[in-house]
Amino acid sequence: MGRKSIFIFIFFFPLLSFATERRVIKLDFESSIGCKSCKVNEIVYEENQIVSDLVWQQIFTPYVSMNVFCSAYKFHFDTLFETSVPVQTGFLEDYDYLNSANIVSNYSRHDLYVDKDFSIQFQLSYDLIDIKNKYIFSPQTGVVYQNRKFCAQNGFLQYPEDSSKNWTGNEEKTELSGIVISYEQSFWHLYLGFENTFIFKNTILKVSGSYYPYISVDSIDSHYLRSVQFFDSMQSMQGFDAKVSFSKLVNDDKKIWLTIRSEYDYFFCEGDSYSNVIGATTKDFALLANAGSATRNSALFFSIGLFINLK
């Protein structure tokens, strides 16, 4: 530990201890388990027309989360960590539009495996309005980072024998085995929002919403049957979330609450697309001049957990 670190520790630790003893700083902890359903569209454009749409559909993926809440006067600083359980859940549907817009030319379907899906969030809020501790209105702002990777395995292809024809669903299925496609997203976004807190006897209801003024998404899409890999870099200002939570006191000293929460998230991004060969010695991706990329994400969360007052 350097001299600066020692000085900071010596200077701030007594202040933190004093504030905690005087209850100026309040610490709370929440641990939750839940499930989420998530739909991720991976869209490819050529000459401003959609030529491919890969729909990654997670269904009831289990996850766990941990929250730490730190409050001082009317300010609140919250940290949230969340991670999904690696599991086979849902499916990938791959639609190609090679002959004409809005008409599917090729189709495939595969099992979806979640390799990883975690996020970390930091939030700052302030109790702007407090009516007799029965209703509290709190503006909030924060940042979220998320990383997730899906793999599509097994399944089948349905391609017309005549490539000039469109898909009907009656074509012969070509069965597949093993990993066909993998898709990894790494993204972060800022958000501005509000929270309404309604306090009743032994129960608390919270309703909140946020707008994403900036979103940045990088993704790697690997097609193993074609030995090609795509890198997409996308940004936008199109995103929002809405949350509702209900907490019930479960002991007499008001230190443990049972919390049920629901959340819906949505965002859309567009950007540039690059390509490379899987296994190439160089990691340089070539810009696809006449192509573009986009992603549309929507997710629905349900969780139940325990909220514990530490101080």
Of the candidates 217, 143, 213, the one whose C-alpha atom is nearest the C-alpha of residue 186 is: 217
- Can you give the pLDDT at residue 279? 75
* The pLDDT value given to residue 10: 47
With a CB cutoff of 8 Å and minimum separation 6, the contacts of 77 are 69, 70, 71, 122, 123, 124
Which residue range(s) make up the domain with 76? 3-309
Nearest to 242 by CA among 206, 214, 269, 268: 206
Tokens in use for 283? Answer: 């990691």
pLDDT of residue 25: 85
Give the count of domains, the chain.
1
Q: What is the dihedral of CA 72, 81, 305, 27, to 10 degrees?
A: -20
Residue 115's region, left for phi above 0, alpha for psi from -120 to 50, else beta, is alpha
Rounded to an integer, what distance in angstroms lies between the CA atom of residue 197 and that of residue 17?
A: 29
**pTM, two decimal places:** 0.87
Residue with structure tokens 């976004």? 189
- Two structure tokens written together for 105: 């030319």
Task: Give the C-alpha distances (Å, rounded to integers) separating 235 from 111, 267, 275, 299, 300.
Answer: 29, 10, 18, 19, 22
Which pLDDT value is given to residue 144? 98
Positions in the chain whose pLDDT score sits under 70: 1-23, 252, 254, 281-283, 311
The pLDDT of residue 8 = 44
Alpha carbon distance 306, 250 (integer Å): 9
Question: DSSP of 234-245, one letter per residue?
Answer: EEEEEEEEEEEE
Contact 183, 219 (CB under 8 A): yes
Ramachandran class of 250: left when φ > 0, alpha when ψ lies in -120 to 50, beta otherwise:
alpha
Which structure tokens are listed for 93?
Answer: 């549907």
Residue with tokens 């994403």: 212
Express each pLDDT in 221-233 by its tens digit.
999 999 999 999 9
| Closest alpha carbon to 297 in 174, 146, 131 | 146
Task: Tell me what pLDDT residue 14 has.
Answer: 47
Here the CATH number for the domain that contains residue 165 is: 2.40.128.90
Residue bearing tokens 């702007």: 128
Count CB atoms within 10 A of the CB of residue 123: 20
Q: 3-state SS of 136-169?
A: EEEEEEEEEEEEEEEEEEEEEEECCCCCCCCCCC
Question: What is the pLDDT, as a whole number, of residue 311?
Answer: 65
Which stretch of DSSP H or E encloses residue 9?
helix 3-21
Q: Cα–Cα distance between 23 and 102 in angstroms, integer?
A: 61
